[in-house]
Structure 1
Amino acid sequence: MSQDWWRDAVIYQVYVRSFADSDGDGVGDLPGIRSRLPHLAGLGVDALWITPFYASPMADGGYDVADYRAVDPAFGTLADASALIADAHALGLRVIVDLVPNHTSDRHRWFQRALAARPGSPERARYHFRDGRGELPPNDWESVFGGPAWTRVPDGQWYLHLFAPEQPDLNWDNPEVREEFLDVLRFWLDLGVDGFRVDVAHGMVKADGLPDVGRPDHIALLGTEALPFFDQDGVHEIYRDWRKVLDSYDGPRVGVAEAWTPSPERTALYLRPDELHQAFNFHYLTTDWDPARLRGVIDDSLAASALVGAPTTWVLSNHDVRRHVTRYGSVARARAAALLMLALPGSAYLYQGEELGLPEVLDLPDEVLQDPVWERSGHTDRGRDGCRVPIPWTTDGPSFGFGDGGSWLPQPADWGALSVAAQQGDPDSVLELYRSALRVRREHPDLGAGSGVRWLDAPEGVLAFERGRFACAVNFGPEPVRLPLGGEVLLASGPVTTEGGDALVRADTTVWWQRP
């Protein structure tokens, strides 16, 4: 892979708790991931991104970090992390790890010291401690997980947590905080990781004075609304410092922003040449299955990225949103969406299990739900557990091959039919479609990196574009359409009939072909 591997990489997200369990405790772990690396190499991805495996009380699935330099015993050891990185590299896979800089766990030694210290102390200055407004919190900010974003401590002060109370926000105006994370970056880079996915990359800097949002109906969901605690310009100074550290290592080593912003242009600011390398394209992820809207967001995304010379990224699912099989309403649409995404210029992110066509699990019993959103919302929002159910590897057996001791969330009884073993070698399976698509994407000279597409004339309800001699068309309409291909079909998400240089493309189907 080239030095600029990240510009066209296909990166596979591993939700560590739900990928593979090596020790039978029902929870996925690093040795489990290590044992399944051949699946990722065989799938044809370029890198894996692993969700947090640091020492944590698990109030939010590991996104509440108590020690950034230690592996939680539930997931293994530092030696396991090192061995995983080495094995991945031996298979030609890069490794990106999650970094959580917006907040720590309330069990982090810094926060424990802050609780024991007095108001105005250096220990409290690492976080956002404030006096309240009488009996009210310092401002009207709400937690992403529901309820106030402030919790009161026994001496009367309040501390800020944009997420759960167990996740106090760090004060990034504090030089000590900035130095600590530069050292954390070096720790993992020295261990051999190829980059970082930066959790809540848009949230670390808050507006001066922590002003009220000012809307009584405000709910601070992750989205694209302009807010005083998200996407403040001060975050960019942080990433300029981080880029210097990343560039000091061989690689390159990369930074990927999870940045929810009001527009693609605001997202692109995180990708200037002296900042991070990639940012998740949430504008694409949240777009409906609609040709006009998708064309608009594709054009806007490519244009914004081109302004800063960065690659555009594309993503359909992750551990925070409903799986796209369910969101789009059918496996056929999910297959078509996958080929559309993988045909676009730039880098693509896959979420574990999407290569199997897994749907969202909508009927998890109330008593097994673990997402903090469930409790914080007063049991009105079921949270994100439905997309986090452990994936199936075998057609039968304990937890369908996930592990010998069951799984931390129950799997649907029919998931054996969706397992890797069941789909392996079946040319009509979702798994083999992904393998074929990634192979064509890797081998075709006009696919992968790039900055634009040329849209082709197409019937209503069809998106069609070309990149060099490669062409892609998606039929969003309810009826089959006849398209004049005039070339060789490379791959299709469903049955395509060709006759005399034309192709009959069914509803919710994408076709790739080579133009003359």
Structure 2
Amino acid sequence: MTASRPWWERGVIYQIYPRSFQDSDGDGIGDLAGIEARLDHVAALGVDAIWLSPIFPSPMADFGYDVADYCGIEPMFGDLAGFDRLLAAVHARGLKLLLDFVPNHSSDRHPWFVASRSSRDDPKRDWYIWRDPGPHGGPPNNWISDFGGSAWTWDAATGQYYLHAFLKEQPDLNWRNPDLRHAMMEAMRFWFDRGVDGFRIDVLWHIVKAEGLPDNPPNLDWSPDRTERDRVIQRHSTDQPEAHAISADMRALADSYGGRVLVGEIFLPNDRHARWYGTPERPQVHLPFNFQLIENDWNAEMLRSMIAAYEASLPSHGWPNWVIGSHDAPRIAARIGEAQARVAAMLLLTLRGTPTLYQGDEIGIGRVIIPQDRICDPQDLRQPGLGIGRDRSRTPIAWDAGPHAGFSTAEPWLPLHPDWSTRNVAAQAGDPGSMLTLYRDLLALRRAEPALAVGSFALVDAPAGVLAYDRIEGDRRLGILLNLRDTAVMVDWQGMVMLSTQDGEPEPGMLRANEGLILS
């Protein structure tokens, strides 16, 4: 029975980027009170949990992923009392709330790092990763920041370099230090005690570095149109064996509270990705995030082989998960167009595993051009011309056709999508053919059909350009047919049509262009 499964297996997660959800105080930036005011929208969608991108105190060098206090709330978003009100409001609607935990690095303004860089003899010096210059007087090794440039910054006051996998304002924490490790676990405990239902753990595979910090091997396939980070293969700076013990300790802490869930951000090939589930005796994160629907080409043949390989890689105790959008990735409608974004919604919500939706995808926000003078993303500013800017996926939701789309009484911190006056929640809520209605219908069907929520999965042969599979629970079998082409395809399908991604009656024996069907 569905009810006997953990909530995170049968449920759906909805990611909120707090800066861009709803502004309550007129500064053009979203906040916790704004999220609380819009919870009815989230509940009406039919999801089960909310994941908030970082809301901790931060100088905002990387928009909250540079944490200055792991046990507080950034004043821009509210305060602890406001968080408690939000948490209570979330729980009152039968929803769960997950926070974004950032364990690889802190802000350079965190009191820990201020102490660490104050003196080589400070007790917190070893809470971060410091090294003497290399043999030729420069950085200790060839590691490259994910945002470009050396991963090392010189500190003249103490005569050493410190490591940062991202911005220099984000020094890496030293998880080999037991005191640091204890302090971070206590930060997680602080929020569990407050009642949060879990964490999405940022760049989990980064948190331990190889002993001795050897050079990373050069990437012989690198070309100038790729990010500078890719000049080397991150063999020694990520995915170290010792990190799995930390992941298991985090899981043990979460399990001690009962019903909590850990989602780990991990970009790795299937065989290495699967290790983050741990073993039945020593489990790790419940859901190592699977980004393959974002990373791969959008065609039926690629998706079929990718899904099969991912399913085959999972350990027997591992539960799959899927995502088509996030605060870091181009929006799905911008990548593949609105017609296929509807098909993608059906794919996401009918595959076996836990889906994560990203705010704004439910109304089909597409391409947003960010003028040069409005770019905020440090990754884009440091490596211009590569098309890697993340601002385009972080623009505010449009709620209605009023001033500033109902998001704020002031100019939003990032520009809105160009068609916001017609593409907004209010306009789509009453439209039976809208993207929002499709998402609501898909989520309602998923909730009503255990086969979609927790059933088994089997790929089915289909014509070229069509992805087909069954979901089975007991005697109940549902068929999913997805046409990933913009031309109609003859398909010998049978059964009752439960839902189509398009208006009008489906044609027997045919899939219309860009059409997805769920059949009983």
| TM-score bin, normalised by smaller chain | over 0.9
Is the CA contact 2:18–2:32 (under 8 Å) kept in the aligned structure 1?
A: yes
Distance 2:284 2:22 in 1: 34
1:255 alignment partner, SS class:
strand
SS of aligned partner of 2:70: strand
Structure 1 residue 257 and structure 2 residue 270: aligned? no
- Which residue identity does 2:132 align to in structure 1? D
Q: CA deviation at 1:220?
A: 6.1
Q: What are the equivalent positions in structure 2 for 1:429-440 lying under 5 Å apart?
A: 429-440=434-445
Alignment correspondent of 2:162: 159
1:477 aligned to 478, 485, 489, which one?
485
1:454 aligns with 2:462: no
Deviates more, 1:71-80 or 1:504-513: 504-513
Q: What is residue 7 of structure 1 aligned with on the other side?
A: 9
SS in 2 for 1:467: strand
Q: Confirm or deny: 8 A CA contact 1:8 1:311 kept in the other structure.
A: no
1:478-497 matched pairs, under 5 angstroms = 478-495=486-503, 497=505
**C-alpha contact 1:104 1:169 (8 A) present in aligned 2:** yes
- Aligned partners of 1:189, 1:245: CA distance in 2, in Å? 9
Q: Which residue of 1 aligns with 2:517?
A: 511
CA RMSD, Structure 1 to Structure 2 (Å): 1.9
Stretch deviating more after TM superposition (199-208 or 225-234): 225-234
Paired position in structure 1 for 2:292: 283
Of 169, 182, 186, which aligns to 2:185? Answer: 182
Q: Is the 8 A contact 1:492 1:509 kept in 2?
A: yes
Residue pairs, 1:102-501, within 5 angstroms:
102-118=104-120, 121-133=122-134, 134-154=136-156, 155-215=158-218, 219=227, 221=229, 227-250=235-258, 252-261=259-268, 263-272=269-278, 273=280, 274-305=283-314, 307-328=315-336, 330-361=337-368, 363-377=369-383, 383-397=389-403, 399-450=404-455, 452-468=456-472, 469-495=477-503, 497-498=505-506
Change (3 A) 1:388 1:276: same
Select 1:48's aligned residue among 47, 50, 53: 50
Report the CA distance shift for 1:371/1:448 in structure 2 as closer, same or farther (over 3 A): same
Separation in 2, partners of 1:303, 1:187: 37
Identical counterparts, % of pairs? 44
Q: CA deviation at 1:224?
A: 12
How many Å apart are 1:111 and its aligned residue?
A: 0.6
Task: Say which SS state the counterpart of residue 75 (structure 1) adopts.
Answer: coil
The answer as to whether partners of 2:219 and 2:233 remain within 8 angstroms in 1 is no
Q: Does structure 1 retain, via aligned residues, the 8 Å contact 2:216–2:232?
A: no
Bigger mean CA offset, 503-512 vs 82-91: 503-512
Question: For 1:410 and 1:393, how far apart are their aligned partners in 2?
Answer: 14
Asked if 1 retains the 8 angstrom alpha-carbon contact of 2:26 and 2:408, the reply is: yes
Q: Tell me the TM-score normalized by structure 2.
A: 0.93
Cα distance in 2 between the residues matched to 1:275 and 1:458: 37
Q: Distance in 2 between matches of 1:281 and 1:416?
A: 34
The alpha-carbon deviation at position 376 of structure 1 amounts to 2.1
- Does the 8 Å contact 1:52/1:63 carry over to 2? yes
Residue aligned with 1:484, SS: coil
- List 4+ stretches of structure 1 deviating above 6 A: none
After the TM superposition, which of the residue ranges 473-482 and 210-219 deviates more from structure 2?
210-219
Equivalenced residues, count: 504
Q: What is the deviation of 1:122?
A: 3.3
Distance in 2 between residues matched to 1:309 and 1:97, nearest whole Å: 25
SS of the aligned residue for 1:470 comes to strand
Give the Cα–Cα distance (whole angstroms) in 2 for the partners of residues 350 and 83 of structure 1: 24
1:126 and 1:455 mapped to 2: Cα distance? 48
Structure 1 residue 106, shift from structure 2 partner: 0.2
Specify the SS of the correspondent of 1:446.
Answer: helix
Q: How far 1:485 sits from its partner (Å)?
A: 2.4
Q: Distance in 1 between matches of 2:185 and 2:495?
A: 52
Tell me how far apart the structure 1 counterparts of residues 311 and 233 of structure 2 sit (CA, whole Å). Answer: 21
- What stretches of structure 1 of length at least 5 have no aligned partner? none
Q: Would you say the 8 A contact 2:265–2:288 is kept in 1? A: yes
The one-letter amino acid paired with 2:516 is T
Q: Distance in 2 between matches of 1:201 and 1:67?
A: 19
CA offset at residue 132 of structure 1? 1.0
Q: 1:258 and 1:223, CA in 2 relative to 1: closer, same or farther beyond 3 A? A: farther
Q: CA deviation at 1:223?
A: 12
Q: Which amino acid aligns with 1:411?
A: L
Structure 2 alignment gaps of length 5 or more: none
Contact 2:365–2:423 (CA under 8 A) maintained in structure 1: yes
Structure 2 letter corresponding to 1:238: I
TM normalised by structure 1 equals 0.94
Residue 287 of structure 1: CA displacement? Answer: 1.4
